[in-house]
Structure 1
Amino acid sequence: MNESQALSSREREQGTQFSPKFDAAGLLTAVVVDAATQAVLVVAFMNDAALVQTRLTGKVHFWSRSRGALWLKGETSGNFLHVEEILVDCDQDALVIRARPAGPTCHTGEASCFYRRLNPGAPDASALVKVKT
């Protein structure tokens, strides 16, 4: 993938050239949603290598900031995220990936990493309530 080229705002926002705009750490945000239900499954980060591997293999890859390494989602569990479609936001610094999960997405075994709701009126010690995912 080429380095982000100097595109005009119009070219970046209205054109057909894919020129991802990575942040200072070389990352962009990727939101993965279930292609069938549209439920948010996971939000993580991609660097250029993760984006290239995702496009080449059809399986979602991320950049693990904690491990400092490329990470194929599902490589140890077998719960891969199979890409159906990748949507690019207007300024090309974030992606929405519609994927078919091959099992639970969260490392906790939950279907989605978003399995708790914040109860705004409760004290922080009891503010999280588990929801069905």
Structure 2
Amino acid sequence: MDPLTVTALSGLLTTLLGSAAGEAGKSAWNSLTATTQRLLGREAPATTALEAAAGGSPAAIEVAAGRMVDAAAHDPEFARTLGQWHEKTTGDIQIAGAGGVNNSVSGDAQVGRLIQAHTVGDITFN
């Protein structure tokens, strides 16, 4: 398993804290915080940064992801557990519909107006 990057972890944490992740996101977040506390301790920099990120601030999420990646670089057990958590959670969130979007137009399609998106609000055409 490749080591996690700050960007990959930050992206997943942002998704989990967004409303689109729903119950799957809440469950994954709770699992991550419990695992981090258990393996690193309640006062570890990664743990406290993760707690600070719970409010959804992009800067706090980035700091938490950085601290967790740093902790993983120094703790093989945490690295293995975090990698497994990331892999499982990414799959769970995509299954729940909050992950990536894959839109495509193929064949001999002749498209006049096309919108490809994950979540769309009100749309009007003029």
TM-score of the two chains, using structure 2 as the length reference: 0.24
Bigger RCO of structures 1 and 2 (CA < 8 A, at least 6 apart): 2
More helix by share: 2
Structure with greater Cα Rg: 2
